[in-house]
Amino acid sequence: MDHFFHIAIGTITMRPYVFAFLVAYLVAAVMHLGWRTTIWFTIIGYIISFTSEVCSINTGFPYGWYYYIDATKDREFWIAGVPFFDSLSYVFLVYCSYATALLVVSPIRAWRWNLVTLETRSIRRSLSVLMLGSLFTVFLDIVTDPVALQGKRWFLGQIYGYNEPGFHFGVPMSNYFGWWIVSVLMILALQLINALSEQRREKPAGVVNIPFRSLFGPILFLSVIVFNISVALLIGERLMAVTGIFIFTLPIAIISISIIRRTNRYDREELESHLKDYPWLPAVKG
């Protein structure tokens, strides 16, 4: 029993930043989608990501051939050759990318102390959100994976490697292609789970209306970027950090300008559609 608690504590303390991002995801997702959708997506999203990792380390698909170094097996939970928290990180990366896609696609209403995305059921399950959200996830991995691969130089530790190092700071292109496939599957799962939970046509348990709640997911998205670029700078990987900055400068600029230009430029039909689907949200206040 003592060994079990030792490993359980180590699973969290060895990856404190993952645990912090996970808690932030749970807060943002529950207030946005409710407990039911969040819990089911966390479980099913984990199963999808875990399955993809087990498949890849044994067959090379979808990320290409890579391996985990089992140096921490006595300090954290491992399942079928994969660290428990590694697959769990997919869930919050995909959610914050999905929420950012909603911010880009949805009409926006703002007033002095709030900003609300005028989401509808059709927007949440749209192809636009699916494709944009999956690409946002891949962009996150383009920054996070090279930093994680240098784990021996910071507190993450060297936990994995590629059989044949790629040209992008050691990461092969197959990895990013695999992330896109898995991200599409996970967002599809989230869209389906959310659609099923919304059949009740009532306010989901856990949804909370607080100022700027629509920005919580995108803020988490930015936090992941800032964290990884900061780590790259701290370990002396300036080119890696600058590359990450350049990768996100244009998308963030486009998104920011788009949000500014679209704010409060919705039409009556868009507002009515939003209120019909989500009458409990504070889109008419202010």
DSSP secondary structure string for all residues of 116-154 = EE---HHHHT-HHHHHHHHHHHHHHHHHHHHHHHTGGGS
The answer as to whether 284 is a domain residue is no
Share of the chain above pLDDT 90, in %: 70
Could you tell me the pTM of the whole model? 0.93
The answer as to whether 283 is a domain residue is no
Count how many domains the chain has: 1
Residue type, 113: W
Q: What is the pLDDT of residues 19-74, one digit of tens each?
A: 899 999 999 999 999 999 999 999 999 999 999 999 999 999 999 999 998 766 66
The answer as to whether 282 is a domain residue is no
Per-residue buried b or exposed e for 171-185, using 16+ beta carbons within 10 Å of the residue's own CB: bbebbbebbbebbbb
Which has the closest alpha carbon to 31: 185, 212, 191, 277?
212
In which domain, by residue range, is 71 found?
2-277
The answer as to whether 285 is a domain residue is no
Provide the pLDDT for residue 286.
Answer: 47
